Structure formats: C-alpha cells, structure tokens
Amino acid sequence: MTTDQKQASTDRELTGSEILLRCLIEEKVEFIFGYPGGAVLPIYDSLYYGSIKHILYRHEQGAIHAADGYARATGKPGVVIATSGPGATNLVTGIATAQMDSIPLVCITGNVPQNLIGTDAFQEADITGITMPITKHSYLVQDVRDLPRVVKEAFHIATTGRPGPVLIDIPKDVSNAKAPFSYPETVSIRGYQPTTNPHPLQIEKLQQAIAESKRPLILAGGGVVTSGADQQLIAFAERAQIPVTTTLMGIGGFPGTHPLWLGMPGMHGTVAANRALLECDLLIGIGARFDDRVTMGRIDKFATGAKIVHIDIDPAEIGKNVDTYIPIVGDVKRVLETALKDPPVSQSQAWLEKLKGLKQQYPLTYKQSDNMLKPQWVIQHLYETTGGDAIVTTDVGQHQMWVAQYFRFSRPRSLISSGGLGTMGFGFPAAIGAQLAYPDRTVISVTGDGGFQMTAQELAVVALANIPVKVAIINNQCLGMVRQWQEVFYQRRYSEVDLSGSPDFVKLAEAYGVKGLRARTVDEARQAWREALDHPGPVVIDFQVDPEENVYPMVAPGAGLDEMMLGDEKA
C-alpha cells in the first residue's frame, strides 16, 4: 500500500470486514485458506476485489490443514477463515493439530451478531469456549475499533515465543460496523514477554557438562526447525563431537545423511538412537518436549545415568515430563549461537565408535519379496528419486513411521507431519498448502488408504488450480498401525480395521480430473513414479503394498527403551 492509499484509508471509515482485509494485507498474508458461510458473508464480500489469493477448500478441515502445511513449509503464519457454528467447529481438529506441534496459525471465524450470541441462534457455537484448551490465545471481537489491535496481537502471539494457533472470532455485526482504520505499529502485551535470550550462567554450566561428558547425546526436536537453528545445530554437534537423534518433529533439523546422526528415537526409533538414550551420561534436549513416544512414558527407564539439559523457549516444558539438571530457557537458535562462541569438546571418541558400530549392526531393514510391493521399498524409492530436498507430508500411522525411517531429509521444513496430535487426513491438504508456498519444489503427500479418505475431497482443489502435488497412497487395504497393534497386543483379533469398500483410487482421482496411477509390483512402482514425476500436474499413485507389513523396531507402550522388538528380520 502506498502512503497516499494509507492516508486515504485513514480518512474514511471502513467496515469491519474491510478493516480485517487491510490488516491481513499489512501482515503480508499471501493466501487465505477458507470456506464461506452466512456469518462471514461481509468478509467474503470484501475479499471479492481483494489482492489476497483465497483458496476454496471442500471442507474447513482441509482448509486449516492446508494453512498448517503452508505454515510448516514456510515458517510464516497460516491464515484460515471459516463461518460460525459448523464452519468453526470443523476447524477444531486442525487447531488442536497446530497447537500440539506449535504451528503459527491465525484462525478467523465469523459468529452470529452479538445480539444473538447466547440465544442458540442458527449456526451459533461458542467457538472461543470450545477451542480455549487448544489455542495459544483467542479473541472474541466485541467492538470494530478493537479489530486492528486484535489482528496485530494475534499475528504477534501466533508467531513469537513458542508459536501456536490464535483464534479471532468476529460477530457479523462487528464485520458490518464502521470505524476509521489505522494499523498499530507495535505490540505491547503486558502478560506476554517470551524469553529469547538464554541466561549466560546456564550456558556456562552446559559447556562444563559437555567438557566433562564421555557419552553425550543431543535429542533435537521441532524447536530446532521452528527457530531455524539447523546450521547452528550442525556446527555445535560437529565441534563438540556429540551424536544427534532427531524426534519426528525434529527430522530435517539435522541432515539424515550426517555421520553424527543416529536416526529417530523412541517407539519406532533405531537401535542406535535408543541405546544412546539408555546409556548416555549427558542428554541435551534441544527444542524437544520429551513426549511419551520418545520416553515411552517410562521416566524410570529413560536416560537414567544422564545429566539432562533441557533447552526450550517455553519454560513450562522444562520439568514437565523429565527432571532437568540444567534448564535453559530461550530461543534455540540464540542458545546455540551463544554456546558456539566458546564451544567445548566432549571426550566422546569411544562413544561415537560404539554408536557407529550399533548403526552398522542394526540398520533399518525389511524382508524383500518377489511378488509383493513392500511399503519401505516405496518410501526408499521416493527418496532415492527425489533426494532429501523434496517436501513430504504424511498422516499418522505406519506410512508416517516408514517415511520417518527411510526418507533421509537433508533440510528443515521438508517433513510435514502431524506429530503431537497424530491427525489422520492431515497430510494431503497440508501438501496443498506447502505446494502453494513452493510451486517449483516436489511435494509428495505420502498417505495411507485410511487417512487419504478423510480429506480426499480436496482433490477438487488440486485439480482446479493444477497444484502438482504427488499423492502416494501406501495402500494396505486396512488401518495398518491399528492392525499392527491388534496383531501384537490383541492376539490378531482384527477388530474393524479392514478398509474393504475403499474406492478405486485411480478412478477417484480421474473423477476429479486428476491423473491416477496404480502399482502392484516393484517394476510397476518404478514406472508409475517416473510417470508421476514427469507429469506437470497433480497425480495420485495407488501403491498396493503387502498388507501384512509391520513397522519395526518397536517398543511396546509401557515398556522401556531397553525392550525393543526388532521384528522377524532380526529376531
């Protein structure tokens, strides 16, 4: 906006919906992911001539996961708009997904006019109340004059400190009311002052602990990716000679091809990573929250001989799940930069040799088959043909773990996966958001036949806008991870996991005007994937894989990391 236009806009009164759009332009929003409805009619009317690109999804859940995928791929906040009542409640899963993984979202919902709030009016829901436990903060705008400040604060809160989703609920009368517009330059929120710079004394303690340690280990989480600290982490690990394990959310925060990398830890972690967690004498958690998929909830068996250092921007994470020897509150990037000024070297040579040996002795493996396509092979093939730079999104389940295990991501923000909430239906719409942000990069949505059917309707979006997402369905005709648990823990009583009745995915894709391909063998898979990569538009590939395949290694819930099941191959 030019200065003249700014001046003009302050001179006359604008409606709330026009003010909202001006605010979003001020925040440099590129895309709005959304779905219109009665309570947001004024907002959509303002959008009609607007410069911001709106993408119409087929379900609000698709819209918010797409906004989330855009945010994860770019680090910029995703913006989603939904109408009151059912529109707003359809956002709930997406909001919780973003909250669990600390993703910056600004969720704008319309609401019924204020004189109808509380009357159980048509399409009314108390969305502020419903989402209170799953947002970083929320606003119900009661006066159009508050709108610019609220939007400014919402973007600030969503993107700073530990990021997260912020909800702005705007009653229809506020959207229609008029006020002069001026966008605040600065934000001042008394109760919100995130600590970004670490305490120097704590850094000194960390350096001393590293110098004294013989078996140090870095547990790197999503915070490394969020703060953009990947280069600092590589430099720190290399100089201090400390091996690194990355949680699911931390994957890409440290290159999957680096000699110091041990793989993912925890329930489906590598032997090397889990043994390192069991035997380390210094555990440096960096932007990782010690989730029960890493600790197995068995703190009594987790890094028992180690001094635990916990680096996190959120003080409430420190001491939440594990007791901490050295707590360091601050932005991960700042902490590592400070620590890099005077980096000590650990005495870890023998330890590194040992872990290298474990990596060689217990690599991730699976049984090849002559007549069946193995899901692990498919993931490996996707990796080998695209390199570690492709953006891969997943849902939750077996395919997600195989991606985490077999795709060696070399840079951050390239694995986009619902880690904390484990949301089925997340990956495909998230891939659309990522592809919109990076039209020239290869974006692969690896999904299961179950999860894909939760948001498959968004095929309309990729078809219409020719968004070249490659959807790789790892089709085992069942809910694979649930089936695996039933096999192992419920004596093969396969209760309600058979997905017979799924559509012909090739025909489904074609029905939307999207290219559909199928592969049942290795040769077919190679050919189909080549064809998919060569095709300039969206493609759905139905990889029909061995339905019996399980994810190993595996640690049973309630067991310690010392009780790993290695699977048929290695037992």
Partner 1 sequence: MRHIISILVNNQPRVLARVASLFGRRNFNIESISVGESEEPGLSRIVIVTHGDARTMEQVSKHLHKLIDVIKVQDLSIQQSVARELLLVKVGATASNRAEIQGIIEPFRASVVDVGINSLMIQATGDREKLDALIELLRPYGIKELARTGITALPRSMQIQPKAQMHA
Judged by CB under 8 A, the stretch of 92-100, 190-198, 204-212, 269-277 that binds partner 1 is 190-198
d(CA 488, CA 180): 64
The CB-of-318 to partner 1 minimum distance in angstroms stands at 8
d(CA 429, CA 185): 34
Residues 559 and 549: beta-carbon distance below 8 Å = no
d(CA 326, CA 307): 8
Token pair for residue 60? 């609000």
Closer CB to partner 1, residue 138 or residue 455? Answer: 138
Which H, E and C letters describe 17-55, residue by residue? HHHHHHHHHHCCCCEEEECCCHHHHHHHHHHCCCCCEEE
Read off the amino acid at residue 47: L
Which residue in the list 5, 28, 122, 208 is annotated as catalytic? 122
Contacts of 537 (CB under 8 A, 6+ apart): 462, 466, 468, 514, 515
Tell me the pairing of strands 282-286 and 216-220.
parallel
Closer CB to partner 1, residue 320 or residue 526? Answer: 320
Token pair for residue 211? 């110098």
The CB-of-133 to partner 1 minimum distance in angstroms stands at 5
Q: Is 118 in the site for partner 1 (CB under 8 A)?
A: no
Closer CB to partner 1, residue 189 or residue 464? Answer: 189
Judged by CB under 8 A, the stretch of 125-133, 360-368, 396-404, 494-502 that binds partner 1 is 125-133
Which residue in the list 60, 124, 153, 317 is annotated as catalytic? 60
Query: Which DSSP category does 540 fall into?
Result: E
Which residue in the list 76, 136, 152, 172 is annotated as catalytic? 172
Q: Is 79 in the site for partner 1 (CB under 8 A)?
A: no
Question: Which helix (H) or strand (E) is 309 found in, with range?
Answer: strand 307-312
User: What angle separates helix 349-361 from helix 271-279, to the nearest 10 degrees?
Assistant: 150
192, 325, 438, 485: residue in contact with partner 1 (rule CB under 8 A): 192
The CB-of-315 to partner 1 minimum distance in angstroms stands at 5
Mapping DSSP to helix (H, G, I), strand (E, B) and coil, where does residue 220 land? strand
Closer CB to partner 1, residue 319 or residue 558? Answer: 319
86, 118, 319, 387: residue in contact with partner 1 (rule CB under 8 A): 319
Contacts of 403 (CB under 8 A, 6+ apart): 379, 392, 394, 415, 417, 446
Token pair for residue 459? 């095929």
* Residue 280, CA distances (Å) to 219, 248, 472, 545 in order: 11, 20, 38, 38
Residues 502 and 431: beta-carbon distance below 8 Å = no
Judged by CB under 8 A, the stretch of 187-195, 266-274, 373-381, 511-519 that binds partner 1 is 187-195
Q: Known catalytic residue: 123?
A: yes
Closer CB to partner 1, residue 21 or residue 140? Answer: 140
Mapping DSSP to helix (H, G, I), strand (E, B) and coil, where does residue 537 land? coil
Query: Which DSSP category does 310 fall into?
Result: E
Closer CB to partner 1, residue 192 or residue 438? Answer: 192
129, 305, 357, 557: residue in contact with partner 1 (rule CB under 8 A): 129
315, 344, 388, 547: residue in contact with partner 1 (rule CB under 8 A): 315
3, 191, 360, 534: residue in contact with partner 1 (rule CB under 8 A): 191
Closer CB to partner 1, residue 194 or residue 513? Answer: 194
Ranges within 416-445 binding partner 1 (CB under 8 A): none
Query: HSE-up of 265 (CA within 13 Å, CB side)?
Result: 34
The CB-of-137 to partner 1 minimum distance in angstroms stands at 4
* Residue 125, CA distances (Å) to 40, 75, 92, 137 in order: 14, 31, 12, 18
Q: Is 184 in the site for partner 1 (CB under 8 A)?
A: no
The CB-of-140 to partner 1 minimum distance in angstroms stands at 7
The CB-of-166 to partner 1 minimum distance in angstroms stands at 9
d(CA 259, CA 568): 27
Q: Known catalytic residue: 60?
A: yes
User: Where on the phi/psi map is residue 496: left (φ > 0), alpha (ψ -120 to 50), or beta?
Assistant: left
Q: Is 316 in the site for partner 1 (CB under 8 A)?
A: yes
d(CA 465, CA 489): 45
28, 53, 214, 320: residue in contact with partner 1 (rule CB under 8 A): 320
Closer CB to partner 1, residue 104 or residue 427? Answer: 104
Q: Known catalytic residue: 374?
A: no
157, 280, 326, 462: residue in contact with partner 1 (rule CB under 8 A): 157
The CB-of-96 to partner 1 minimum distance in angstroms stands at 12
The CB-of-498 to partner 1 minimum distance in angstroms stands at 36
Closer CB to partner 1, residue 71 or residue 141? Answer: 141
Residues 497 and 478: beta-carbon distance below 8 Å = yes
Closer CB to partner 1, residue 32 or residue 326? Answer: 326
Token pair for residue 273? 């990573």
Contacts of 465 (CB under 8 A, 6+ apart): 55
Q: Known catalytic residue: 122?
A: yes
- Binding residues for partner 1, how many (CB under 8 A)? 18
Token pair for residue 263? 């793989």
19, 140, 283, 390: residue in contact with partner 1 (rule CB under 8 A): 140
Which residue in the list 13, 26, 30, 123 is annotated as catalytic? 123
Active site residues: 60, 122-123, 172, 481
Question: What residues line the site for partner 1 (CB under 8 A)?
Answer: 128-129, 132-133, 136-137, 140, 157, 189-192, 314-316, 318-320
